[in-house]
Chains A and B, each alone.
Chain A
Amino acid sequence: MKKYLLPAAVFSVLALSACASTPDPGPEPVAESVPQAPAPVPVVPAPAPEIDRSAIAPPVPQPRGPVPGSVDDFIHQTGGDARVYFGYDRYDLTAQAADTLRLQADWLNTYSTVTAVIEGNADERGTREYNLALGARRAAAVKDFLVSQGVAPNRLTTVSYGKERPVDPRSNEDGWARNRNGHTNLMTGTSS
């Protein structure tokens, strides 16, 4: 986003100054004799370029992946989602969640200065305090697994949002499934 801001800003500054300045006065008439044009000189054309008619291959694309060690890189390298999902009123990890967390642990072990807050979330089908406790269980399940894969426990803090921070507003199975999650939210030490 940022790189587009500068030209736009420069443009608007120029546009503004053009608007603000008073119009140029027209050229003042001058009474002066015009010198005689010189006689033409014959011009020898430059030699014709050699033309190589072989085709030019398109450039090899620069790798466009996220910056290694960044939050985007983390998400990209761990399956495209920084959240793992739970069953209704469950806080045990599914096989799929464990697979994702293994990738997260690999990444965290590579970038060992990164710290994370593990956020536990619940769907709306539970009362407020029970869901806070349930979210805390989910966050702890994620943290414990990452620690078991070699991530230092002091790099991971946990918090539960219960049902206070849904990512999906729908009141249906799809929405609820998305809202029952543990979110590995990277904090400090990431590349930008």
Chain B
Amino acid sequence: MMTFTKQFLVALFAWGAATAAHAQLEIDITQGNTRPVPIAVPDFISDDPQVGNIGADIAEVVRNDLEDSGLFDSLAPASFVETQTSIDYEPRFADWRVIRADALVSGRVVVESPTRIRVEYRLWDIAQGRQLSGLRFGTTPDNWRRVAHKVADSIYEELTGETGYFDSRVVFIDERGPKTDRRKRLAIMDQDGANPQFLFAESDIVITPRFSPTAQRITFMSYENVVPQVYLLDIETGRRELLGDFPGMTIAPRFSPDGSTMLLSFIRGGNSDIYTMDLRSGSRSRLTSSPSIDVSGSFSPDGGKIVFNSDRGGSPQLYVMNADGSGTKRISFGKGRYSAPVWSPRGDKIAFVKNDGDRFAIGVMNADGSGERLLTESFMDEGPTWSPNGRVIMFSRETRGASGRNEIWAVDLTGRNLRKVPTPGSASDPAWSPLLP
């Protein structure tokens, strides 16, 4: 991971302002910084040998989270001059300036009882010689990884003025077997690839999982009843239900921003159309009625509009309509074929897949279709999903050929910080959770 970031610029995010309150040390994501912020995160201190490793493990996760974001350069611990023995004193700022750290995170782990630890950290602005923030978290010892992500989120938030995304998970499809006999299983992992687990033992065609933006609940499509249907799964209880026993195929499920409604495509007589379905009442309403392919609906975060994919103009393109199906407008006009649009949780961007010839790219455009930029390209990049703060896109990348396999990759909005997300095997169709509570 280290090797990537050095060459990446931190630049060009078109949204919200980092506030002036953050003084000198802040990452101004509206103007575009030219280099990642050098940050030092020594192993968290602990007097208790029982949790000694936890202090080092937490710091490692914090370093990796910050580094992977592309906004920070996590300095190598071997270069550190000062070894702090307590976080209750000011660091020797000169020792951190000499290794060119702009920020320092000093942390400690305190054992309160055999089943409870307290994790504390202070974030220091080295140039100004002052503390920017300090927080304390309590948890069980085995939950140290989530605390590490929360520490990283707090640092990210303090320095960028943006909400973080590290304490989140990704549901995905684990793939086994050759291309002509692939077995697919629903799985979940932390956003950094840690803690991968299968969600249930079934192993057939299960595809396109999506997270509810408001709960630990997902929807996905499965062929277990021969004809593809859409299911809901509560991740915490393991309770799974068929969304509704509709005639024909039901595909392309996606939750509304408040989690109460689902967008779906029903296929009747070969023709796919987009519907909404109220999850409580089960009532449905039809939004498209063209004789063309209409799939992959995705709500804007205010729930007012829907972007979708249609070949009504002769080739697959992106369209936006009002949430009641009125006022449809085409928004993609570049050369090539567009599909799989997903509205950013911030509302300003739409991610999509574009293909021109035999290459597939992940791109973003403004909600009105302007400002199209391609972030990645390969033989097959598809299935974009947004981080909860709308700064990073995860997607599937499939390699070419008879032995081709799927991998999960992530790219930030600049397109410069591209990295592979570690998965236990071949993996596809990532779907990012909301930030965990």
Interface residues of A (CB under 8 A from B): 89, 91, 117, 124-130, 132-134, 136-141, 143-144, 157-161, 164-171, 175
Chain A residues near B208 (CB, 8 Å)? 128-129
The answer to whether A127 and B353 have CB atoms under 8 Å apart is yes
Instruction: Check if B374 is an interface residue, CB within 8 A of chain A.
Output: no
Q: How far is the CB of B23 from chain A (nearest CB, A)?
A: 45
Bound-state CA distance A50–B383 (Å) is 85
Of A125, A133, A166, the residue contacting B180 (CB under 8 A) is A166
Question: Once bound together, how far apart are the Cα atoms of A125 and B357, in whole Å?
Answer: 9
Interface string of B204-242 (1 = CB under 8 A from A): 010110000000000000010011100000000000000
Which residues of chain A are near B178, meaning CB under 8 Å? 169
Q: What would be 19 A-B contacts, judged by CB atoms less than 8 Å apart?
A: A125-B358, A125-B360, A127-B296, A127-B339, A128-B207, A129-B265, A130-B296, A130-B340, A133-B295, A141-B270, A157-B227, A159-B228, A160-B267, A164-B223, A165-B180, A166-B179, A169-B179, A170-B401, A170-B402
A159: contacting residue among B249, B271, B429, CB under 8 A: B249
Q: How far is the CA of A127 from the CA of B316 in the complex (A)?
A: 11
| Cβ contact of B267, chosen from A125, A136, A169, A171, cutoff 8 A | A136
Contact A132 B404, CB 8 Å, known A127-B383, A141-B270, A168-B180 = no
Q: Are A136 and B249 in contact (CB under 8 A)?
A: yes
B321-367 residues at the A interface, CB under 8 angstroms: 337, 339-340, 353, 355, 358, 360
Query: Could you tell me if B180 and A129 are in contact, using CB atoms closer than 8 angstroms?
Result: no
Contact A136 B340 (CB under 8 A): no
Establish whether residues A129 and B179, one from each chain, have CB atoms under 8 Å apart when the complex forms.
no
Q: A159-B249, A166-B180, A169-B401 are in contact. List 17 more A-B contacts (CB 8 A).
A: A127-B339, A128-B207, A128-B340, A129-B251, A129-B252, A129-B296, A129-B339, A129-B340, A130-B295, A130-B339, A133-B251, A133-B267, A134-B293, A137-B293, A138-B270, A158-B270, A164-B182
B319 to chain A, nearest CB (A): 13
Scoring B residues 281 to 321 as 1 if CB is less than 8 Å from chain A, else 0, what string do you get?
00000000000011110000000000001000001100000
Q: Which residues of B contact A (CB under 8 A)?
A: 178-180, 182, 205, 207-208, 223, 226-228, 249, 251-252, 265, 267, 269-272, 293-296, 309, 315-316, 337, 339-340, 353, 355, 358, 360, 379-380, 382-383, 398, 400-404, 429
Q: Which residues in A have their C-beta under 8 angstroms from that of B315?
A: 89
Q: Which 10 A-B pairs have the closest CB atoms?
A: A140-B270, A169-B402, A169-B179, A133-B293, A127-B339, A133-B272, A171-B400, A130-B339, A127-B340, A127-B382
Chain A residue nearest to B267 (CB atoms) is A136
**A132 with B249: in contact, given A137-B293, A141-B270, A164-B207 (CB under 8 Å)?**
yes
Closest to B384 in A: A127
User: A178 CA to B78 CA in the complex, in Å?
Assistant: 56
CB distance from B83 to the nearest CB of A (A): 51
Residues A137 and B383 in contact, CB atoms below 8 Å apart: no
Structural contact, A130 and B398, CB atoms closer than 8 A: no
Residues of the B chain whose Cβ atoms lie less than 8 Å from the Cβ of A91 = 270
Q: Smallest CB–CB gap between B69 and chain A, Å?
A: 27
A89 CB contacts on chain B under 8 angstroms: 315-316, 337
B178 CB → nearest A CB, Å: 7
Residues on B with C-beta less than 8 A from A132 are 228, 249, 251-252, 295
Residue of A whose beta carbon sits closest to that of B428: A128
* Residues on A with beta carbons closer than 8 Å to the beta carbon of B309: 129-130
Contact partners of B251 in chain A: CB under 8 A: 129, 132-133
Q: Which residues of B contact A138 (CB under 8 A)?
A: 270
Cα-based distance from A124 to B382 in the complex (angstroms): 11
Q: Determine the chain A residues whose CB is within 8 A of the CB of B429 once the complex forms.
A: 128
Query: In the complex, which of the residues B207, B383, B398 contacts A124, with contact meaning CB atoms closer than 8 Å?
Result: B398
Q: A129–B226 Cα gap in the complex (Å)?
A: 17
Residue of B with least CB distance to A124: B380
The interface residues of chain A lying within 8 Å CB-to-CB of B379 are: 171
For residue A142, which residue of chain B has the nearest CB? B270
Smallest CB–CB gap between B128 and chain A, Å? 48
Contact A126 B293 (CB under 8 A): no
State in angstroms the CA–CA spacing of A65 and B380 once bound together: 44
Residues of A within 8 A of B360 (CB): 125, 127
Min C-beta distance of B295 to chain A, whole Å: 5
- CA of A136 to CA of B251, assembled, Å: 11
